[in-house]
Amino acid sequence: MSNNNPLLQDFNTAPFSKIKTEYFKPAIEKAVEIARQQISEITNSSEKPTFANTIEELEFSGAKLDRVTSIFFNLNSAETNDAIQKLAQEISPLLSDFRNDIILDEQLFGKVKAVYDQRKSLDLNVEQQTLLDKKYKMFARNGANLPEEKKQQLREIDKKLSKLSLNFGENVLAETNRFELHIINEKDLDGLPKGVRSAAKQLAKSKNKEGWIFNLHYPSYLPFMKYAKNRDLRKKMALAFGAKGFHNDELDNQENVLQIAKLRHEKANLLGYSTFAEFILEERMAETPQKVEDFLQELLEKAKPAAEKEFEELENYAKELDQIDRLEKWDAAFYSEKLRKKLFDLDDEQLKPYFELENVINGVFAVSEKLYGLNFEEVFDIDKYHQEVKTYRVKDEYGKELAVFYADFFPREGKRGGAWMTSYKPQQKRNGREERPHISIVCNFTKPTDEEPSLLTFTEVTTLFHEFGHALHGMLANSTYPSLSGANVYWDFVELPSQVLENWCYEKEALELFARHYETNAIIPQEYIRKIKESATFHEGMATLRQLSFGMLDMSWHGIDPSNVTNVKAHEDQAFEPTKLYPDVQENCMSTSFSHIFQGGYAAGYYSYKWAEVLDADTFEFFKENGIFDRETADKFRNSILSRGGTEHPLKLYKEFRGKEPQPEALLRRAGLIEKK
């Protein structure tokens, strides 16, 4: 098998068309074997441990395994099926065992520690110092100093956690896929724009059904909630969306949530930390749970009065317009959109014709060219995992190839919801040779229909810019070591490159590069640009409160001892109490589908979005002072932040770029929560 298995042969871009699902497990088993051999060469070496023969060798070991597993787990997110999901359940414990075998290897740790103990006398550059510190902590923070019995406990916990996390994600995807709102009566479509109706009709047609079908994927769900006049149907959709993993059936996630939270806490205790948040935050800019709590509390105090005022205005508007008794969660998007249209004479349907997906892609490329001199060429000779995926070669202004870029834009049954950036190959330098990265962004945007191309809402436009900001962090990486390259940075720093790029979506200079009517090619009217900017802070208080509520829910699971929590819903309600505006919906529970913290990497880290907003608002103020396309400022951001990855502490990198520490006032000014300068 190994001779014919394309995953075990040398390849540059991933050979998707040659890969069969059954190739993955033997490839991963073989890659683990190769990695074990590389590790044993380090541990069995009779040479005195040095930075080169221990730390660097450890860093570059397991490269084949990393590549094969990145392909596998990326497919499990973007193009999964029952066979891949079943395989993930078999592969995850195997990888967990292998990781623990390395981390709990006393002989290997002894060699790493020997180098670490003489670090002050070694002539290491900054990146080498960071790598040494990171490798030592990889062992010390993950049980290398534990007695054998506790090491075994840790192994069992990690194995269980990897399986529970997979179960959680599979249940959320299955729940998302199994609900359909099938409409036969055209009157039930009242309020829905033509494009939304067309997409729903096409979905029904693809399932050999009459009428229109709406589901819980964002391009279907969000416009329905925003425009459908039928309040009962909005309620039905909202209840289905909010009850994912909360039906007391085979797809229920309540036990998974409780088990994950408790096992994480148990792991933290084993490692000498009082909570999982304390363990995680030691390696974050925020440093401690108390700092996160204080940060969230400070923003809550600033945002809550504005949010309560906005909510009262919205509720009064809804009562006045439709005589409803009280504003419910399924009314939020509907009446917000109506009020926004009334106040600013602007809605998504007016804007969408100016945001054809192809134009927006070209727009984000044009912005990147003006800022960083990048060129993107779509190519058709790179293998891909689905026909909808687009592939590009990325070059700098001198023609040097910087990256391969994959873009996957539309929802499918095998793709999880949301949007994310990932990598198929890391950037690194070794033996005088540099490997450039292969970066991918995956989104779930409105599909083209028979009647019109893919037209994005303004929110989808900002999402594309957001994920592309992450992609730039990967593409412009210029590190020696793969684990410090690109987006491998502290978790509360990783959102800075993505969130800062969203700012260009609100600027006239940038919008005029790509916002053109898909039929007439007319540039977006100046009046619309003015309204986009004016409406940018609309309901910002409520939006801030919503984000804070997610951060507080995350900390409520990971900043305490959850051993006594038995009721997921009751625990969640308590966590949401300080940020509550809408009446509670008993049938709904967010934790059971909160993939960011129970499946993704955001456990004890959801606050990072708001933390990074402070950084991005402060960063963009600097750009605006010098001009949003000022090349000198862009070069500074590229050289201090984007290209440096995790090679130094992020606060040091940020101060190098900005000349000072980030100030939260910039965010509060942008959000309209304090007066502008």
From the list 467, 495, 572, 621, the catalytic residue is 467
Q: Which two tokens stand for residue 611?
A: 């933390």
Helix 650-658 with 608-626: angle, nearest 10 deg: 20
Say which DSSP state 582 is in.
Answer: S
CA distances to 217, 479, 498 from 418, rounded to whole Å, are 9, 29, 15
| Spatial separation of the C-alpha atoms in residues 596 and 603, rounded to whole Å | 7
Q: Which two tokens stand for residue 411?
A: 């929802």
Beta-strand pair 401-408/438-442: parallel
C-alpha dihedral, 573 to 578 to 581 to 587, nearest 10°: 0
Residues, the chain: 677
CB neighbours of 162 closer than 8 A, spacing ≥ 6?
Answer: 92, 93, 95, 96
Helix 568-576 with 540-558: angle, nearest 10 deg: 130
Cite the DSSP H helix spans in 14-147: 24-43, 57-60, 63-78, 82-103, 106-117, 126-140
Neighbours of 357 (CB within 10 A): 23
Burial class (CB in 10 A: 0-12, 13-18, 19+), 38: middle
3-class state of residue 595 by DSSP: helix
Q: Where are the beta strands (DSSP E) in 383-507?
A: 390-395, 401-408, 420-425, 428-430, 433-435, 438-442
Q: Which two tokens stand for residue 155?
A: 């192994």
- Let me know the angle formed at the C-alpha of 589 by 608 and 492, rounded to the nearest 5 degrees: 5
Beta-strand pair 428-430/420-425: unpaired
Contact status, residue 472 vs residue 421, Cβ threshold 8 Å: no
Q: Which two tokens stand for residue 285?
A: 């800019």
| Spatial separation of the C-alpha atoms in residues 115 and 95, rounded to whole Å | 27
For the chain, what is the radius of gyration of the CA atoms?
25
Largest interatomic CA distance in the chain: 82
170 labelled catalytic: no
Q: Which two tokens stand for residue 274?
A: 């009082």
Burial class (CB in 10 A: 0-12, 13-18, 19+), 264: buried
Amino acid making up residue 104: L
**Is the C-alpha dihedral spanning 603, 607, 613, 618 positive or negative?**
negative
Catalytic residue numbers read: 467
